[in-house]
Structure 1
Amino acid sequence: MNFDRQLISGQQGLLEKGILELSRQDAELARLLDDEVVRQHNTLSLVASCCTVDPRTLAASASALVNVTAEGGPGKRYHAGCLNVDKVESLAIERAKSLFGAQYANVQSHSASNANYQVFSALLKPGDTFLGMSLDHGGHLTHGSPVTVSGTFYKAIGYGTTDEGLIDYEEVRRLAHEHHPKLIVCGATAYSRVVDFARFREIADEVGAILMADISHIAGLVATGLHPSPVDHAHVTTTCTHKQLAGPRGGLILSGRDANDIVPGFNLPFSRILDRAVFPMMQGAPAVNIIAAKAAAFGYAQKPEFKQYITRIRHAADTIADAFNAHGYEVIGGQTNNHTVLIKLRGELTGTIAEEALEECGITVNKNRIPGETRSSFVTSGLRIGTGALAQRHMDEIGCKKVVELVCRILDAVHIVSEKEYRLNPELRDGFINEVQSVCRDYPILSYTQ
């Protein structure tokens, strides 16, 4: 009895009790969760959207706040019992504003996609025109793909990149003047160069459009000053809180110098309109345990160790890009200025085959469409490589080059049968697995704050 009382005293006791009871009473699920930890340690993740969450953030996400219903915002809830929730959410808001130099922050969005749609619903009416980056050229699904809400409920006009893989700002200007969009979206999911947010704002101002920047893939670089910030250029900035921030899976909406400006046609400032779009328009009660995890991640991101981690991401990306170039692969854009390296595959090798063959050997990547793509989204002609997880392994130049060399050897060993089918010699595969696991032992997963 004394042991039970000790277990249930405070957050640490609750977590320990939960882990013990899960292992005792649901061994099947507990085993699967343990298997995933083993998988992550024994494989190399080159997925641009994945990082390892710090244990302190995991603890916050598993907190007792999950028991609280808290519709509304700090100081204005529709439920009782929110005294500590208000303090936690206020802390997350202030940390987010400090981290990104913003005047406004909403930390309730369940994901970056939700955050994007909340901005759309706040500022656009169904059928309104907006300008976003084409999926084939590096944009995100929510930036206007016809299979999503953004491309179905609104008139989405896509802009792209030049033959050199750079955003075609003249095309953006031409399309903006031709279509007079109410909103312009900048930011990408598979773009490896610097985004000129100031130039986008100039174009938006020329046509009277609102500018939204989606920095989900570069939020860590922006927060540490290793990429220009959009916060005072864009009227609204959105991001997820995982990827480079290595926090929980969730969304964040920010605004800088425009936060308190009145939005034409609404007679309300951006801050008020955005708050209303999150709740009650698009979401009910927030996941307040995840808000606590966001607060933890924002706190860690302001420490010197975090900038060291982001710096390792950049160095690893440069090394990876140079190594693929040396192995004869075309790097879209020629180089990288962030954590992403987008490569064009050679010959008949497709993205889906490359992705599956590499995963079979213990390396995870994303197949990806490339400029001038002729294959479907389920096949593709490219791969998107990210270096966040490698940086968390503190991988040096030697290690990064070894990873690229392994990737190239695996792809060279693949026998192509069709666009989606291949064969890989089992003995070669087993040898590759052993080599991957050897690299994992040499560079074990470390917390990004170490």
Structure 2
Amino acid sequence: MADIDALTSSAYAHALEVIASVEPRIADATRAELADQRSSLKLIASENYASPAVLLTMGTWFSDKYAEGTVGHRFYAGCQNVDTVEALAAEHARELFGAEYAYVQPHSGIDANLVAFWSILAHRVEGPWLEKAAAKNVNDLTEADWEALRKELGNQRLLGMSLDAGGHLTHGFRPNISGKMFHQQQYGTNPETGLLDYDALLAKAREFKPLVLVAGYSAYPRRVNFAKMREIADEVGATLMVDMAHFAGLVAGKVFTGEENPVPYADIVTSTTHKSLRGPRGGLVLATGELAPSVDRGCPMVLGGPMSHVMAAKAVAFAEARTEDFQAYAHRVAENAQTLAEGFLKRGAKLVTGGTDNHLVLLDVTSFGLTGRQAESALLDAGVVTNRNSVPADPNGAWYTSGIRLGTPALTTRGFGAEEFDRVAELMVEVLRNTTPGTTKAGTPSQASYVLADGVADRVRAASAEMLDKHPLYPGIDLS
């Protein structure tokens, strides 16, 4: 291990020297970013720390290669090595998640969702329409045919979780392309408990009859019963799509099993490859064999040239996730989230749904008299990196918000355990209790400005540093 650490440190030191020879400000910013991440309590639920092996894999000459198409069927010559990379990444993903098919080309989670949406539309709408039109393929269509098909494709129904209930922008939020592609409605959570109400969801699905039912979340701190989601989709004839971008690592790590594992129940599953999976920034689609041919048309249907260097890094990350070490890590992520939630509750803080049973905690900061934006900013002053987030029926809207979303994957990667996460909750409550809302220039209450009491930020940073020093980030890398 010492030899590996020395090699890793040397690799990054020399890489930054090369970068600095062209644009030293980029090298300086890179060093500064590592320093900032090392000295901060990173609690953003969608962030993590990829291994040096994953990070180094992205910085290769695979970045120089165009490779539109699929394995063995490219629109560019000389893609034999890209074929190897993509095939390995897909193989690892299939084995990791127990999926029939894996598509590793999407550049991001939104790209993965677009591939999924259009694959469903191609399979459920375009294919049957072509048969009805007695056309062998799209090249047989007249302009009038195309106009009719466009109306068919643009008039389908999608039912997804609302943003304030914990859903994602791409689940039918109006300003997002998903809200413009589909005739959409959204389902929420029980107003008393904040939990999914499957009976209410079934009633809404029966009334709306969507073509696509989207399950999954970005800020819902509970597990989902995907067997029930499957039953609802089947009853109304919908395709069940699951976006597991946030909790993919808990599926891979066997924390979510049985009816809480979406892969056996969904027609199509999308994910990012960073977040709880600890891979490179990118997207992933898993699908049944029936949908695989449509998904395989992601390029040119939605995507352009795949990022071969990122697909290579995905293969490395998936290989890491297939180990017992990763399974142990995933279980610690969930255990640490429980500890963090309990730490807030025993100090009188308010949590959406009253706790968590996944990797994230949603803190309602209105009990501190703050907006999410004020709380986020005050915490950042104290070296605690979070992101503001809506809560159900949020009175402050999606910009200022009433909540702070927290996640345990990143600090768990650093080695934080129960004692540290309880201390994190204590420090955060100290900051929030010592923060008061500011006023606008006109003297009216502000949703953005705040006043943090003197000395609090320094005290919290000092206490955080003690924990962070015990669990150094990338300890084998010395850029001094």
TM over 0.5: yes
Does residue 202 (structure 1) correspond to residue 231 (structure 2)? The answer is yes
| Deviation of 1:347 (Å) | 4.4
Amino acid paired to 1:313 = V
Percent of paired sites with the same residue:
38
Moved over 6 A (4+): 11-16
Task: Give the RMSD, CA atoms, in angstroms.
Answer: 1.7
| Deviation of 1:213 (Å) | 0.5
Amino acid paired to 1:89 = E
> SS where residue 419 of structure 1 aligns?
strand
Aligned to 1:361: 382
Aligned to 1:231: 263
Match of 2:120 among 111, 120, 123: 123
Query: Is the 1:312–1:394 Cα contact (8 Å) retained in structure 2?
Result: no
> SS where residue 388 of structure 2 aligns?
strand
CA deviations 1:267-287 (Å, max 9, x no partner) are xxx1011111x1111111100
CA deviations 1:117-144 (Å, max 9, x no partner) are 1211222321211100000100000001
Aligned to 1:186: 215
Pairing of 1:35-434 with structure 2 (within 5 A): 35-124=32-121, 125-162=153-190, 163-227=192-256, 228-255=260-287, 259-261=288-290, 270-276=291-297, 278-345=298-365, 346-417=367-438, 418-434=446-462
| Deviation of 1:433 (Å) | 2.2
> SS where residue 105 of structure 1 aligns?
strand
CA distance in 1 between counterparts of 2:422 and 2:200 reads 37
Amino acid paired to 1:318 = Q
CA distance in 2 between counterparts of 1:158 and 1:442 reads 45
The answer for unaligned runs of 5 or more in structure 2 is 1-7, 122-152, 439-445, 476-480
Match of 1:21 among 11, 15, 18: 18
Range 429-438 or range 226-235, more displaced: 429-438
CA distance in 2 between counterparts of 1:107 and 1:347 reads 43
Range 205-214 or range 340-349, more displaced: 340-349
Query: Is the 1:361–1:436 Cα contact (8 Å) retained in structure 2?
Result: no
| Deviation of 1:446 (Å) | 5.6
The answer for unaligned runs of 5 or more in structure 1 is 1-10, 262-269
Does residue 32 (structure 1) correspond to residue 29 (structure 2)? The answer is yes
Amino acid paired to 1:238 = T
Query: Is the 1:348–1:419 Cα contact (8 Å) retained in structure 2?
Result: no
Q: Work out the number of aligned pairs and report it.
A: 425
| Deviation of 1:189 (Å) | 0.3
Aligned to 1:444: 472
> SS where residue 251 of structure 2 aligns?
helix
> SS where residue 263 of structure 2 aligns?
coil
Range 433-442 or range 240-249, more displaced: 433-442
Range 32-41 or range 425-434, more displaced: 425-434
Query: Is the 1:15–1:62 Cα contact (8 Å) retained in structure 2?
Result: no
Query: Is the 1:244–1:388 Cα contact (8 Å) retained in structure 2?
Result: yes
CA distance in 1 between counterparts of 2:10 and 2:308 reads 20
> SS where residue 57 of structure 1 aligns?
helix
CA distance in 1 between counterparts of 2:382 and 2:456 reads 9
Amino acid paired to 1:403 = V
| Deviation of 1:333 (Å) | 1.6
CA distance in 2 between counterparts of 1:281 and 1:13 reads 42
Query: Is the 1:317–1:336 Cα contact (8 Å) retained in structure 2?
Result: yes
Amino acid paired to 2:375 = A
Aligned to 1:7: none
CA deviations 1:426-445 (Å, max 9, x no partner) are 43322322222222113323
| Deviation of 1:22 (Å) | 1.1
Amino acid paired to 2:416 = M
CA distance in 2 between counterparts of 1:337 and 1:428 reads 31
Query: Is the 2:43–2:407 Cα contact (8 Å) retained in structure 1?
Result: yes
CA distance in 1 between counterparts of 2:78 and 2:234 reads 45
| Deviation of 1:17 (Å) | 5.8
Amino acid paired to 2:253 = T
CA distance in 2 between counterparts of 1:373 and 1:336 reads 19
CA distance in 1 between counterparts of 2:26 and 2:394 reads 41
CA distance in 1 between counterparts of 2:78 and 2:10 reads 22
Change (3 A) 1:203 1:275: same
Change (3 A) 1:328 1:17: closer
Aligned to 1:265: none
Query: Is the 2:277–2:321 Cα contact (8 Å) retained in structure 1?
Result: yes
| Deviation of 1:18 (Å) | 4.1
Amino acid paired to 1:79 = Y
CA distance in 2 between counterparts of 1:404 and 1:12 reads 33
CA deviations 1:96-115 (Å, max 9, x no partner) are 00000001010000111111
CA distance in 1 between counterparts of 2:463 and 2:379 reads 12
CA distance in 1 between counterparts of 2:18 and 2:250 reads 40
Query: Is the 2:214–2:242 Cα contact (8 Å) retained in structure 1?
Result: yes
